[in-house]
Amino acid sequence: MADLSINFAGIKAPNPFWLASAPPTNSGYQVMKAFDAGWGGAVWKTLGVPVVNVSSRYAATNYGGKRMAGLNNIELITDRPLADNLREIEEVKKRFPDHAVIASLMVETREQWHQIVRDAENAGADGLELNFGCPHGMCERGMGSAVGQEPNVLKTIVGWVMEVAKTPVIVKLTPNITDITVPAIAAQEGGADAISMINTIQSLIGVDLDNLVPYPYVDGKSTNGGYCGPAVKPIALNMVKNCAQIPDYKLPISGIGGIENWKDAAEHILLGAQSVQVCTAVMHYGFGIIRDLKSGLSRYMDEKGFATIDDMVGKALPNTKTWENLNLKYKVVAAIDEDKCIGCQLCYTACEDGAHQAIGLSGEGEDRIPHIIEDNCVGCNLCSLVCPVEECITMERRDDGKEHTTWKERSANNNIPTTFNDELAGGRGHWIPKPEEALKKGHYDKFK
């Protein structure tokens, strides 16, 4: 059995699954329940200056049958008294000495930072997370993402914290920025021990079409909020990867964003995260999902022969390159397994209207099985992505695997294309039906 325990920048935990700073860590009651269920750590709901919250606060993107594919919130940091939170942190640590409790903090002045760092550490927190990410409300008051978006301010504040902090300091970054590596480097320069990402992404879920008020509704008005949940995972993964690939970067990364099942967690880890944090999935399904997270990850690690989390961290990074380093000689084309095909023709219409007219229909009688027109297929994957049947459309390799040329190499050799006649440019060998074919009878007649 794989060993799930971790040592994250000096913070030890029985497993890499931590609750992100958010409503699931509002109180000692919740955190203890979570630890009892099997979570390895918890980043306490951000402590800081007094705030007031609005009601209502959340809105969600439902996609097809799936509710809460994305969640948006306009909630601020904790609105519970600091003293209560500190007392509960102390109590949790007493009962769960081996679990990680990290205090998330957000205040304004140097004095306030000093004070709250001391308070949190005195309460027994194993580490601190500086919330430079909240993208609504707090940033209007010059905190949260307002800090995360200003590398110099961020560095200064990290410096203030480091003046007094005795436990590891994690800087939580906002994704609402062009280049996440800039604040990541600023955090390192400021002396932080680790970074975590992502906080929520600025968003507006939608508009109520009856009363013309966006969601969530607060007495006839609304505001933009922060987006999270399964929908944001790809953005989070990319940012984790970007930071993990900063040359000579030293700080460990805690991956956050869109983690709902063990596979999501594994992906974060393979791209460089040394611990992972979860918010929306717990808000949706409760602490019980830890069963799947742990069972799935440890089974995967056993299968792959990863004995520890450290063995696994960043293992996908060597396979993650910039575009200019990809092999231009690699060529795949789509292939349809006729036995599996159910004849929905989604691949046909996707390629015909949305890509490269590389799929044909026989047009004969009952035969609904499309075929690939290989000359036109650029190997984009689209058909295989829309096909509802598992492994019905596969991408088959056509180059012999012997040649390897990248854009970088071509540039270095002064061999960048100057005409569209290059073998990989769109113009060569690509057949496009005649213009009149576009208007020929038949395409959509049935519905006219």
Q: Is 392 in the site for ligand SF4 (CB under 6 A)?
A: yes
Q: For residue 71, state whether it binds ligand SF4 (rule: CB under 6 A).
A: no
CB of 286 to other proteins, least distance (A): 6
DSSP class of 260: -
Q: How many helices (H) and strands (E) does the chain have?
A: 15, 18
101 in Cβ contact with 89 (< 8 Å): yes
| Residue closer to ligand SF4 (CB basis): 89 or 347 | 347
User: Under the criterion CB under 6 A, does residue 89 sit at the interface with ligand SF4?
Assistant: no
From the CB of 50, what's the least distance to other proteins, in Å? Answer: 33
Please state, in angstroms and rounded to a whole number, the distance separating the CA atoms of residues 192 and 170.
6
| Residue 229 contact among ligand FMN, other proteins, ligand SF4, none, beta carbon within 5 to 8 Å by kind | ligand FMN
Please name which of 271, 254, 241 lies closest in space to residue 16, comparing C-alpha atoms.
254
The residue annotated as part of the active site, out of 134, 139, 228, 392, is 134
Q: How far is the CB of 282 from ligand SF4 (least distance, A)?
A: 13
Q: How distant, in Å, are the alpha carbons of 160, 201, 382 from that of 138?
A: 19, 14, 41
Nearer to ligand SF4, 75 or 267 (CB): 75
DSSP 176-235: -SS-THHHHHHHHHHT-SEEEE--PEEE---B-TTT--BSSPBTTB---EEEESGGGHHH
Residues 333 to 352 in contact with ligand SF4, rule: CB under 6 A: 336, 341-347
Instruction: Examine residue 279 and tell whether it contacts ligand FMN (CB under 6 A).
Output: yes
How near is the Cβ of 447 to ligand FMN at its closest, in Å? 40
Residues making contact with other proteins (CB under 8 A): 65-66, 261-263, 285-286, 288-289, 291-292, 295-296, 299-300, 388-390
Selection from 1, 43, 51 nearest residue 18 by Cα:
43
408 binds, among ligand FMN, ligand SF4, other proteins, none (CB under 5 to 8 A by kind): none
- According to CB under 6 A, which residues from 109 to 128 bind ligand FMN? none
Q: Which is nearest to 159 in space by CA: 145, 149, 177, 171? A: 171
Interior CA angle at 431 toward 429 and 433, to 5°?
170
Q: Is 77 in the site for ligand FMN (CB under 6 A)?
A: yes
Q: 192 vs 289, which CB is nearer to other proteins?
A: 289
Query: 193 or 264, CB closer to other proteins?
Result: 264
Nearer to other proteins, 75 or 264 (CB): 264
382 is an interface residue for ligand SF4 by CB under 6 A: no
**Cα separation, 428 vs 433, whole angstroms:** 15
Catalytic status, residue 134: yes
Q: In 3D, which of 317, 200, 228 has the Cα closest to residue 267?
A: 317
Rounded Cα–Cα distance for residues 351 and 395 (Å):
14
Count residues contacting ligand FMN (CB under 6 A)? 28
Residue from 14, 28, 137, 258 that binds ligand FMN (CB under 6 A)? 258
- CA dist 389 and 400 (Å) reads 28
Which one of 22, 336, 358, 359 is in contact with ligand FMN (CB under 6 A)? 22
Stretch touching ligand SF4 by CB under 6 A, among 16-24, 207-215, 382-390, 397-405: 382-390
Q: Rounded to whole angstroms, how far apart are CA atoms 291 and 72?
A: 26
**Closer CB to ligand SF4, 335 or 378, in the complex:** 335
Scored b (16 or more CB within 10 A) or e, 25-62 reads bbbbebbbebbeebbbbbbbbbbbbeeeeeeeebbbbe
Subset of 151-180 contacting ligand FMN (CB under 6 A): 172
Q: Choose the contact partner of 296 out of ligand SF4, ligand FMN, other proteins, none; CB within 5 to 8 A by kind.
A: other proteins
Q: Which does 9 bind (CB under 5 to 8 A by kind): other proteins, ligand SF4, ligand FMN, none?
A: none
Query: 169's torsion region: left (phi>0), alpha (psi -120 to 50) or beta?
Result: beta
CA separation for the pair 416, 409 (Å, rounded): 9
Instruction: Kindly indicate which of the ranges 2-10, 21-29, 82-90, 407-415 contains the residues binding ligand FMN, using the contact rule CB under 6 A.
Output: 21-29
Angle (CA) 166-15-313 rounded to 5° is: 90
How far is it, in rounded angstroms, from Cα 55 to Cα 53?
7
Any idea which residues carry the catalytic annotation? 134
Residues of this chain that interact with ligand SF4 (CB under 6 A) are 336, 341-347, 370, 386-387, 389, 392-393
